[in-house]
Amino acid sequence: MKFFIDTADVDAIRELHDLGMVDGVTTNPSLILKSGRDILEVTKEICSFVTGPVSAEVVAVKADEMIAEGRKLAAIAPNIAVKVPLTWDGLKTCKVLTSEGFMVNVTLCFSANQALLAAKAGATFISPFIGRLDDINLDGLDLIGDIRTIYDNYDFKTQILAASIRSPNHVKDCAMIGADVVTAPPAVIKALASHVLTDKGLDQFLKDWAKTGQKIL
């Protein structure tokens, strides 16, 4: 499974990148706002050290404007994935941009039928939002499973990019279902290493080591 980092915080991305935990990055207008930086500037900086796909989202709602914005974003670096919403205009944009050789990430997916349309439009990635479905008492993981089945049935090449990840359990479950990618905030990625028994065991080892009176260095 690939790990994409869902943030526009360059320092946070660099920290995980240095550990080999960054296969790509996803951003959106809300994350750009949180960063307090210009979208073109911060996206270019991220692409300067992240070699995997970096998603940058259009903000227009009509296809012609989306296409123009997408081309401008794609010009930032060869590894840009233009992010478009799952609307008819977004699907039109996806078809045009993918035919021009650009990667496209179709976002805000909440149903298997939407994911089917995105695959037929040539999307590189489909981003189903797990957490937001959970928020309205629907099981977001069921959607990942449904999309996996449909894509496997017809050998679609679109990669399932599980988004709106809220917890380490989401990551594990997506990996078991067969999502190609998860995109998660840095805090969730870091939390994958945490376990109460690891902490307890380390504490006991250190206490016992102290009793030996020995040193390694």
Task: Out of 83, 172, 190, 207, pick the active-site residue.
Answer: 83
> Residues near 93 by Cβ (< 8 Å), separated by ≥ 6?
58, 63, 66, 67, 70, 82, 84, 104
The rounded distance, in Å, linking the Cα atoms of 205 and 212 is 11
Within 13 Å and on the Cβ side, how many CA atoms surround 10? 13
φ, ψ for residue 76, nearest 5 deg: -65, -45
The rounded distance, in Å, linking the Cα atoms of 56 and 107 is 11
Within 13 Å and on the Cβ side, how many CA atoms surround 203? 6
Buried b (16+ CB within 10 A) or exposed e, 161-190: bbbbbbebebbebbeebebbbbbbbbebbb
| DSSP structure class, residue 163 | B
Active-site residue flag, 83 = yes
Enumerate the active-site residues. 83
